[in-house]
Chains A and B, each alone.
Chain A
Amino acid sequence: MKAFRILGRNVRDSFKSVFRNFSLSLASISCITITLIVVAVSIVLTLNVNNFTSLIEKDVTIVAFLKTDITEEEIDKLYDEIIALDNIEKENVVFKDKMDISKEMMAESETFRSIMQNWSREESPIQDTYQIKVTDINLIHKTADDLRKIDNIDVVKYGEGMVEELVKVFDVIRKVSIAIVVSLILVTAFLIANTIKIAIMSRKKEIEIMRLVGASNINIKLPFMFEGLILGILGSIIPIIITVYGYTALYNHFDGQLFTQFIKLIHPGAFIYLVSLVLLAIGMIVGMFGSYRAVRKYLKI
Chain B
Amino acid sequence: MDIIRMKNVKKTYKTGTTAIYDLDLNIKKGEFVFVIGSTGCGKSTLIKMLYREEKPTSGKILVGGLDVGKIRNGKVYKLRRKIGVVFQDYQLLQNSTAYENVAFALEVLGLPKSEIHPKVMKVLDLVGLKNKAKQYPNHLSGGEQQRVAIARAIVNGPKILICDEPTGNLDPKTSMEIMEVLEAINKLGTTIIMVTHDIDIVEKLKKRVVLLDSGRIVKDYKEGEYKK
A interface residues with partner B (beta carbon < 8 Å) = 2-3, 5-6, 9, 20, 205-206, 208-217, 219, 299-301
Contacts and interface: CB of A to CB of B under 8 A. Distances in A.
10 contacts: A6-B108, A6-B110, A209-B91, A209-B92, A211-B76, A212-B51, A213-B108, A213-B152, A216-B77, A300-B73
Given A211-B80, A215-B77, A205 B109 contact: no
Interface stretch (B31-39, B52-60, B190-198): B52-60
Contact of B108 (A3, A20, A205, A215): A215
Contacts of A206: 93
Contacts of A208: 91
A299 B73 contact: yes
A301 B108 contact: no
B115 to A, nearest CB: 11
Contacts of A209: 91-93, 104
Given A300-B73, A301-B53, A212 B80 contact: yes
A213 B80 contact: yes
A212 B91 contact: yes
A294 to B, nearest CB: 17
Contacts of A205: 91
The 5 closest A-B CB pairs, nearest first, are A214-B81, A215-B108, A213-B105, A214-B80, A2-B110
A209 B95 CA distance: 13
Contacts of B112: 5
A213 B91 CA distance: 11
B104 A301 contact: no
Contacts of A3: 110
A208 B92 CA distance: 10
Chain B interface residue count: which class? 20 to 34
A215 B111 CA distance: 12
Nearest to A209: B91
A297 B22 CA distance: 31
A301 B76 CA distance: 10
B77 A214 contact: yes
Interface in B137-182: 152, 156
A209 B77 CA distance: 12
A113 to B, nearest CB: 87
Contacts of B125: none
B137 to A, nearest CB: 12
A158 to B, nearest CB: 65
B155 to A, nearest CB: 9
Given A217-B74, A301-B53, A210 B108 contact: yes
B149 to A, nearest CB: 10
A214 B91 contact: no
Given A205-B91, A211-B77, A215-B77, A301 B55 contact: yes
A205 B93 CA distance: 8
Given A6-B108, A211-B76, 11 more contacts: A5-B112, A20-B95, A212-B85, A213-B104, A214-B78, A214-B81, A216-B74, A217-B74, A301-B52, A301-B54, A301-B76
